[in-house]
Every structure is written in C-alpha cells, then in structure tokens.
Amino acid sequence: MAAILSLGILFRLFHFFYNRSLWEDEVYLSTGIVEMSFRELFTKPLPHLQSAPPGYLLVAHSFVVLFGKNEQALRLYSLLTGVAALFLFLPVARYFLRPLGTTVALALLAFAPPLVYHAVEAKPYGPELFVTVLILWLYVKYKGQNNLQAMLRWGIWSSMLVWFAYSSVFVLAGLTAAVGAAYMRSKQWSALLRLFIPVGMGVVSFGAVYLLFARHNAGSGWLVYFFYKCNSYLPLTSAKEAVVWLGQRVFLFFHYPLGLSWSNNIMLKASEQVLQRMSLVPVVLIGTGVLYFYKHSKRYLLLLAAVLLLAVVASALKAYPFIDRLTVYLAPLVILLLAGGCDYLVAKRNILTQASYALALLLVFGPLKNSVAQVVTPYLFGEFKKSYHREAIQYINTNYRPGDAVYIHWNEKPAYNLYRSLTPLRFTGVLGNDYRHAAGNFPDYFARMDAELHALPNTKRVWVIWSNTDTPVGNYIDDPAWYYQHNDGVQRFRQHLMSIGRRLEGFNPADGNSNTMSDAHVSLMELY
C-alpha cells in the first residue's frame, strides 16, 4: 500500500511542479479568483460567466493571497485534496473490501490519469472527488451511531460539505436513502425519525448555497445548449435512445474519469475501441462487484444505486450534465464496485481465483502505463486540455522589440488578460474585436479584422496571437451559422493571415509536441 500511495503522490507532485500553462476553462475561473477580492467573490458575478462552490473560491483565493498570483497557488487546493483523498480512501477500501480489492481500489484512485489530472487542475472537480471520499470515510467512522448527538454531527458535516462541492448533494442523498432503508428494514423507527435532523440541516444549507450562488448560472440557456450538444443529458424521446445513451455513458465512464483505457485511438471503429480500451474487463467486474456487495454490504449497493439514479435523473432534467469532468465525484464509488468484483472472484478458490488476479492486473495496467507515459512525455497529460497559452505569450515577451505591434485575437483575450496579471509583460497588446455577429460572411468578417490590423502603428512587425477556442463562454455554439457551417473558423483565420502578409517567425512548443496540437499560436507578420 505504501508503494501505491507513494507513486500516486509522486505522479501528482510531478505534474504540479511541472507547472503547465492554464488551459481555457482554468483561465476562465482563475480570472475571478486572481482579480477579485474576498468580498467581490461572494457579492459579484464571476468573470466569464463562471460558477464554483463558494468553499472552493474561498480556499483558492486564500492560497493566491498567501503564495502570490501564479498557477501553482491556483492549483494548490486541488493538489492537497488529491493527496488527502488517497489517504482517506485507504481505510474506506479496507472497510468494504478484502486485501486484493483494497489494493486494486487504491491503485485505480492513485493511477487513473484523469484523476491525477484533476488533482492538479485549477478547477473544483478534484476537490469534489475528495468530498465524496470524505463522506464515505465519515460513514465508516461513525457507522452504527444513530443517537441524537451523532445525527447532529452528521447534519453539521452535511451542511458544510455542500458549500465545497455541489455534487455532494447526490452522495449525501444516496447515503441517506441507504441508511434510511436499513432503518426501515430493521424497524428502527426512532432512528429513522432522527435521520430527518441531518436531512433537514443539509437541505436548508444547500438551499442557501443554491439561492446565493449556484442558481445564477444553473439555467443559463447557452450552457444547457452546450451540454445538450455534447450529449450530456439523458434523452427522453424514446426508450431505445435512453438505453443507447446509458450504454454509451458506461463505456465513456470507463475511459473518463476512471482512466481504464489502454489506448485512446479515436480513429478506430467503436467495436475496436471497446477491445483496445479493455472495456470488457470492467463490464465483467461490475457484474461480479454487484454480487460481492449484495452478499457483503447491501447498504453500499443501495447507496451506489441511489447516487447513480439521482445523477441520471438530474441529467434527464437538464439540471446536472453527465459528462467526463462532471462525473469525477462518482469515481471512488464505482472503483469500490470494480474492486469488489475482484474480491468476489478470488474468494471462489478455483480457476476463478487466477482469473481474479489476471483481471485485476488488466484493470490496473492501463492507468499505471498511461500515468508513467505522461511523466515521461508530459505533453500527453490532460490530452486536449494540454495548453500553451503561457508559453505563447512568453515567446512574444522574449522576442518583442520596442516598436513592435501585438494583436490579440478575440479568442485569446481571456488568456492574455489573465497572464498579464500573473506575469509582468514588456508589451501591451491591442485587443481585437469579435466581428462574428456583426459580419454575415467570412469576407466581411476578415475585412473588419484587416482594418484593425492595418491600423496598428507598425505593420512591418506585427505579433499576432490566437487560440483554437472558437466559441467563447456565453455564446451558443453554432451561432452565427455562417461561421460554424464547416467548423473551420480558426483554420480560415490562419490561412487568411498568411494571405495578407509574410510570416517572419512563430511559436512552436518546446516540449516535443507538434505545433498543430498547440491550442495557442503566434506569428510575427510583416503585413502587405
């Protein structure tokens, strides 16, 4: 166990100190944490229409105040909760599982690349996973206690946790359902009545945090539409579509956030991906995991079923999307189920015992292999979230000459504005306007942009920086239709830029990643 814990911590520490650039979503949320005061964070809307649990904002901003405006201060809360989750998860796993299952469960939590990533991301998803583990740990610590004092203590914890993780509502509700059902089955009516104390305290607390913070962006039409286009909501149009969607969610969940895939080749056919991603192994272990917990802990099985049901229902109601990063909080719950599947098979003491060890190795191999690969080749870390905003801006800063003009394309403005706050720059960029809704076609769009470029004081040396992001927050994707008809707006801009000037030099990632994979681009142009 010590080796697994140590390796899991080392993975997290390596990427924390590697200190990659903030990617787009981190930029959006971090802007408010860096630029606003404590009072403003809790009394004014966050920039870029962002929303986060107030507890997360409080802690993250405190670290910025203590350690300065930098990426590591912004990610420190996630790192601390990511490491703490490993230590808290060990006694939880030991309570529910046998030695093999405990080892598998801890290894999956420690090695899964998406979970390592969220443990060093300036977003609240890693801390949400920690809150799930903390709830399970509290349950194990105080199990069997149903007196008034215990219920008040549980109510205080519930009231606090919903301020740090909105997703904790699903886990707390699932746990309440499981415990309440157990009380009903054993006819402990007085204990069942006392259960309303923590439930009531939790509901009141969540109601307060929802009214004060969460509701402002909960029903944003553009955000709901975005997640709809991402297929994040259970379709209610037909039973067949719902079943297909659920099957897809299970398959995708194995890949993200559980990180069980051996391969991530999206060019393969679906059937080939199932085999390369080792999806059949977790399917088998889920089945045997259900059998294990049905025998050893029906209460946990009910807890898991209730949490998953609530998550799916919330998705169907378009209240909480079911998609990769927003399901990270579920990972510990499903990991226990998979590990229980290993324990079920090993207990048979026949050929299934060998099969159990083999399946356990197959299950853990992918996450371990990929996490090692992401240390050896760090640009693989985070997949499409690997960002180069800081490096691109610093490239301009290093090579800038007095008198050069710097043009910030509209899709790079959030990153430029944030990094201007984090790092002193020798230049002040001209912020380009977004003409997508003012123009009706690409010739008109580029003509307006060209007017800005040629109005710069020096057209012989113009630094142009732009991003791959093609839809700013607050915008409906695919609007305006003419711009998104072929989803090549950024590529068209690159081509147009080469048609109005000569490229003198540009930024290329120094970590071995190809320039085509960079999300931030820089060209020094001599305009015609």
Q: What is the pLDDT of residue 495?
A: 95
Residues 141-152 have a mean pLDDT of: 88
d(CA 283, CA 459): 60
Report residue 100 as tokens: 């093999």
Lowest mean pLDDT among 148-162, 195-209, 261-275, 323-337: 261-275
pLDDT band at 217 (very low <50, low <70, confident <90, very high): low
pLDDT tens track for 157-182: 999 999 999 999 999 999 999 999 98
Q: What is the pLDDT of residue 473?
A: 87
Q: What is the pLDDT of residue 333?
A: 98
pLDDT tens track for 226-279: 898 899 999 999 999 999 999 999 989 999 999 998 876 555 555 566 666 677
d(CA 95, CA 101): 11
- State pTM to two decimals: 0.94
Asked if residue 330 has pLDDT above 60, the reply is: yes
3-class secondary-structure state, position 528: coil
d(CA 523, CA 462): 8
pLDDT tens track for 377-430: 999 999 889 999 999 999 999 999 999 999 999 999 999 999 999 999 999 999
d(CA 138, CA 145): 11
Q: Which amino acid is at 110?
A: A
d(CA 411, CA 520): 10
Q: What is the pLDDT of residue 377?
A: 94
Asked if residue 82 has pLDDT above 70, the reply is: yes
pLDDT band at 320 (very low <50, low <70, confident <90, very high): very high
Lowest mean pLDDT among 238-242, 315-319, 340-344, 517-521: 517-521
Q: What is the pLDDT of residue 50?
A: 93
Are 51 and 216 within 8 A, CB to CB? yes
Q: What is the pLDDT of residue 265?
A: 59
Q: What is the pLDDT of residue 279?
A: 78
Q: What is the pLDDT of residue 276?
A: 65
In sequence order, which residues have a C-beta less than 8 Å from that of residue 39 and are 6 or more positions away? none
d(CA 466, CA 469): 9
The fraction of the chain above a pLDDT of 70, given in percent, is: 96
Phi, then psi, of 390 in degrees rounded to 5: -60, -45
Asked if residue 331 has pLDDT above 60, the reply is: yes
pLDDT tens track for 433-448: 999 999 999 999 999 9
Q: Around Cβ 411, how many Cβ atoms within 10 Å? A: 22
Q: What is the DSSP string of 290-314?
A: HHHHHHH-HHHHHHHHHHHHHHHHH
d(CA 182, CA 298): 9
pLDDT tens track for 180-193: 998 999 899 998 99
Q: What is the pLDDT of residue 517?
A: 76
List alpha helices for 38-124, DSSP H.
38-43, 54-67, 71-96, 99-111, 113-118
Task: Report the mean per-residue pLDDT for the chain.
Answer: 93
pLDDT tens track for 478-501: 899 999 998 899 999 999 999 999
pLDDT band at 143 (very low <50, low <70, confident <90, very high): confident
Are 407 and 456 within 8 A, CB to CB? yes
Q: What is the pLDDT of residue 145?
A: 86
Three-state secondary structure string covering 433-481: CCCCCCCCCHHHHHHHHHHHHHCCCCCCCEEEEEECCCCCCCCCCCCCH
pLDDT band at 146 (very low <50, low <70, confident <90, very high): confident
Asked if residue 154 has pLDDT above 70, the reply is: yes
pLDDT tens track for 338-389: 999 999 998 877 777 788 898 999 999 999 999 999 999 999 999 889 999 9
